[in-house]
Structure 1
Amino acid sequence: MEKRRVVRVSRALLPVVAVLAVAACRPSVDTPSGPPGGGPASSGHGAEFLGPSDCSSRGEAFREVACGSEKAVARVLARHTGVPRDGPACPPPTDFVLHISAGGPSAPRGYACMRNLESPHPGDPGQGGGPLTVVGDCVHSVREGEVRETACDGSGELPPEFRIGSAVARRTLCPGATDLYVHLGGDSPVGCARRV
């Protein structure tokens, strides 16, 4: 069962206006540390295991495969060492984050920002998934002080209550009709959301 991102909100200024803090990346699946025998995890398709533009299969374990292979299901948009909370954020079209265990010199510990080769794309605005909350996404209150990202078309587990219409540098730049302030990060860290 996929873990859902739950974030805390706090009421401020207007009765219906709140702040939404969003985790940088959603928990995802770890890759194996390497094949039996202790060799590197890379299959030789790139200089680095699941480096930028490389492709992976999906199943019990993620494997690097040629992007033209019938087994290829996702492409690496960006690859970083370390852990998501300490490193750069994934690009906005990221569908999921793959945590990579150390497995020899070609597979240092890190994370890969992945995009499915075919639909669905949960990281796209309004789809209710992905590791980032972006302009066009919707959220739903799950209890007092907490909201969760959900699909804007109502197909998710929870119906949408607010939609992020724009991103600005600070709260005072949001439109007057803003009902929820959403922390997005980056150069425009405040998302201005309205009730739907």
Structure 2
Amino acid sequence: MRGTHAWLGALLTAALAAAGLCGCQSPSGAVQERPGGGTPSPVASGFGAEFLAVGECSSFGTTSFTEVPCTSERAAARVVARFDGGPPDGGPACPATTDFVLHISASGTVPRGYACMRNLEPPHPGDPGGGGGPRTIVGDCVYGAGKGEVRETACDGKGGHRPEYKVTSAVSRRSQCPPSTALYVQLGGEKPVGCARKA
């Protein structure tokens, strides 16, 4: 454990990235990003006019995700935002409480892009303190991962790593953080600096 302020400007690396997955991460996102391991890929099912449009649902699978009606018993997650184009690192960010991201490869009439997903039922790793999701937000907890990096973990301690810091506010500049700040975490967005205190 390094001293207070030792990780100034620490770059957040998502806990999901540590599991060997790629995804829409601010700043870290090729197939999908979801707890539980594996690398299933989205598969067009023919449901809906656009594959995984906003408001549509997908199933979870061990080798693929398919689009299904949201009323289906197989429906597991809903699209809360959908973007065409390249990697999300340079594109629009997913909503703050996104649980995971599906990267969609170009195939036939389906353009390359990514879908920001929210589980239909708990758990919601994208919620503040949930220990996952593609973005770190106020209320999330992190632990030191070495080499000036931190990773997100559940604030209740059930995420496999003990939380060491909790992000208590987001500001535009480090100088706006309160004196009690023990760590600065890069969040991205309009207020890119996370002020974190010891958990």
Q: Same fold (TM over 0.5)?
A: yes
2:46 equivalent to 1:43: yes
Matched, 1:93 2:97: yes
**1:159 to 2:149 alignment:** no
Deviations 1:70-121, CA, capped at 9 Å, x for gaps: 010000000111221121010011000001111222x111100000000110
Does the 8 Å CA contact 2:7/2:148 hold for their aligned counterparts? no
With the length of structure 2 as denominator, give the TM-score of the two structures: 0.82
Distance 1:15 1:171 in 2: 11
Partners of 2:7 and 2:178 lie apart in 1 by 12
- Provide the identity percentage: 58
**Among 128, 131, 150, the residue aligned to 1:125:** 128
Distance in 2 between residues matched to 1:67 and 1:178, nearest whole Å: 43
> Which residue number corresponds to residue 84 of structure 1?
88
Q: TM-score, normalised by structure 1?
A: 0.83
The separation in 2 between residues aligned to 1:140 and 1:18, in whole angstroms, is 14
1:69 matched to which residue of 2? 72
Within 2, Cα distance between the matches of 1:186 and 1:146? 19
Q: Distance in 1 between matches of 2:81 and 2:190?
A: 19
Is this contact kept in 1: 2:139–2:166, CA < 8 A? yes
CA contact (8 A) 1:50 1:64 kept: yes
**Which consecutive residues of structure 1, in runs of 5 or more, have no partner in the other structure?**
1-9, 35-40
Deviation at 1:42, TM superposition (A): 4.4
After the TM superposition, list the runs of 4 or more consecutive aligned residues in structure 1 that deviate by more than 3 angstroms: 14-17
TM-aligned CA deviation for residue 161 of structure 1: 0.4
What residue is the counterpart of 1:20 in the other structure?
Answer: 10
Assess if the C-alpha contact under 8 Å between 1:169 and 1:189 holds in 2: yes
Q: Over alpha carbons, which structure has the higher Rg?
A: 1
In 1: Cα distance, 2:198 partner to 2:9 partner: 14
SS in 2 for 1:118: coil
Secondary structure of 2:52's counterpart equals coil
| 2:192 is equivalent to residue 189 of structure 1 | yes
Residues 181 and 15 from structure 1, CA distance in 2 versus in 1: closer, same or farther, beyond 3 angstroms? closer
Q: 1:15 to 1:97 in 2, by over 3 A?
A: closer
